[in-house]
Amino acid sequence: CQLEYQAADDLLSGRVVVVTGAGDGIGRAAALSYAAHGATVILLGRTISKLEAVYDEIEQSGGPQPAIYPLDLEGATWSDYETMADRLRETFGRLDGLLHNAGILGRITPVQGYNPQLWEQVMKINFQGPLMMTQALLGLMSASDDASIIFTSSSVGRKGRAFWGAYATSKFATEGLMQILADELENTTTIRVNTLNPGATRTAMRKAAFPAEDPNSLRTPDEIMPTYLYLMGPDSRGVTGQAFNAQPPKL
């Protein structure tokens, strides 16, 4: 965990970065933080009003003009991701960073009774969507001389835990994909691929998972940004295939 990492003000200057789930929670904080450090951020998500609010905040703070890319990962098909790649190629010509952050919790419930449709929905949004997006965007990332892919994981994606069903499975799959991609890309490209577990963080998802917990006992999304910046910027050049934590595990 890089909690003490101090990012240079212009760390991401000139970089084009996609953040998924950029309208709320950790993704919103990452989009704002990346823009504040000089990145042109493509705000991807499903609720346009939330993306517009982040867009306005970036404009008002004087950051590079962002872009909004509405996409619902649940319904998105391969052709949507091809279109996304085409649009980004026309507008920017390359992609330097991809933060896969969007995700849903599904239900905290035993595997035996877990609704199969919900299980599929969680896998689509948390794993299949990010997989297809990555497949479609890898060519554009090859056009960057220092590209970084960050997949968002979880502690239950590294060690299984009762009742975390589809969510934990989707994060385990994500860890596996990260390892495979990092191994494939290591000798042929400069694209680095890592996973990042934000740890317990004060967001709507955490509230849904732990309704009785005092939110004030948790770090805010802003407080966990140092590792998000480290992995996105040039200081992590050459670091690939690794599983990171954004904060020490909560006791």
Q: Where are the alpha helices (H) located in 15-65, listed in sequence order?
A: 25-36, 48-60
How many residues of this chain bind ligand NDP (CB under 6 A)?
28
228 is annotated as an active-site residue: no
What pairs with residue 245 in β-bridges?
197
- Nearest distance from residue 73's CB to ligand NDP, in Å? 4
Q: Which of 240, 228, 187, 250 shows the shortest CA–CA distance to 100?
A: 228
25 lies in the site for ligand NDP, by CB under 6 A: yes
Task: Give ∠ CA 30-46-240 in degrees, rounded to 5.
Answer: 40
User: Is 40 a binder of ligand NDP (CB under 6 A)?
Assistant: no
Q: Which of 19, 24, 98, 195 binds ligand NDP (CB under 6 A)?
A: 24
Task: Establish if 23 lies at the interface with ligand NDP (CB under 6 A).
Answer: yes
Least spacing, CB of residue 188 vs ligand NDP, in Å: 28
Contact between 175 and 158 (Cβ < 8 Å): yes
Q: Residue 175: exposed, middle, or buried by beta-carbon count in 10 A (0-12, 13-18, 19+)? A: middle
By beta-carbon proximity to ligand NDP, the closer residue of 19 and 182 is 19
Q: Which of 102, 122, 131, 181 binds ligand NDP (CB under 6 A)?
A: 102
Q: How many CA atoms lie within 13 A of 186 on its CB side?
A: 13
149 binds ligand NDP (CB under 6 A): no
Taking CA atoms, 32 is separated from 88, 104, 198, 220, in Å, by 20, 21, 16, 14
User: Are residues 227 and 246 in contact, defined by beta-carbon separation less than 8 angstroms?
Assistant: yes
Among 18, 36, 99, 104, binds ligand NDP (CB under 6 A): 104
Using the rule CB under 6 A, is 185 a contact of ligand NDP?
no
Positions in 110-139 near ligand NDP (CB under 6 A): 125
The C-alpha angle 84, 205, 219, rounded to 5 degrees, equals 105
Using the contact rule CB under 6 A, the part of the chain among 18-26, 31-39, 183-191, 224-232 near ligand NDP is 18-26
* Residue 210 CB partners (closer than 8 Å, separation 6+): none
The span of 87-95, 176-184, 201-209, 229-237 binding ligand NDP (CB under 6 A) equals 201-209
Site map for ligand NDP, 53-92, x if CB under 6 A?
-------------------xxx------------------
How many residues can be counted in the chain?
251
Minimum distance, C-beta of residue 90 to ligand NDP, in the bound complex (Å): 22
- Residue ranges that bind ligand NDP, judged by CB under 6 A: 21, 23-27, 45-47, 50, 72-74, 101-104, 125, 152, 154, 197-198, 200-201, 203-206
Provide the annotated active-site residues. 167
